[in-house]
Amino acid sequence: MNEIERRRDVLFRRARGKIIFGEYFEKIGDLLDFDRGSIKFIGLEETDEVLKSHFRISGGVPDYSKTIVSSKIGEIISSIKKRAGDFYVFIDDDWRYCGAISPMSLNLIKSDFLFGVKILNDVLFVSADYTKKISLDYYENKGVGCIDVSEYGFNRS
């Protein structure tokens, strides 16, 4: 994609982002217990760079991967909250139009967060130093909510 096409793409995405921002803000509120000062909205260009970096983390092979029933998400959230450092958060595909967010702390994640209320199927956490990521991918199988949990770069055994 040349520079003109890239700029046009960003302008289109920004315009779409303005349309869906209210819904995106509700999704953020569904995931995080926050006020405006406790999260940072990341611009689309920086979001694209972070996303490119996440594909390089650990060569795409997770250190830890598990499928859980969605009712067990509290255990995963507790584990994620213990992670130190700054992280970018990507929610569903809305980040594509509104940008990623960066909360002051992963402790802002709501312990009672559930997929399917506002957030439909994906939450991705990428560390600010691009060395770690955690992916939560929700789907239903025969009427049962399941979440694929994958961690990269944590060297977990």
Taking only the tens place, the pLDDT of each residue in 75-132 is: 999 999 998 899 999 999 999 999 999 999 999 999 999 998 899 999 999 999 888 8
Residue 32 lies in a domain: yes
Count structural domains, the chain.
1
Residue 40 lies in a domain: yes
More confidently predicted of 147 and 53: 147
User: Which pLDDT tens digit goes with each residue over 11-56?
Assistant: 999 999 999 999 999 999 999 998 878 999 999 999 998 888 766 6
Residue 144 lies in a domain: yes
Show the domain range for 114: 3-152
pLDDT at 62 over 90: no
Residue 157 lies in a domain: no
pLDDT at 157 over 70: no
Between CA 97 and CA 147 the distance in angstroms is 24
Residue 64 lies in a domain: yes
Residue 23 lies in a domain: yes
Between CA 29 and CA 110 the distance in angstroms is 9
Residue 45 lies in a domain: yes
Q: What is the pTM of this model?
A: 0.90
The residue with tokens 């990269």 is 152
Question: What local confidence, expressed as pLDDT, does residue 51 receive?
Answer: 83
Question: What local confidence, expressed as pLDDT, does residue 156 receive?
Answer: 59
Q: Which residues pair with 136 in a beta bridge?
A: 123, 149
Residue 25 lies in a domain: yes
Between CA 90 and CA 55 the distance in angstroms is 14
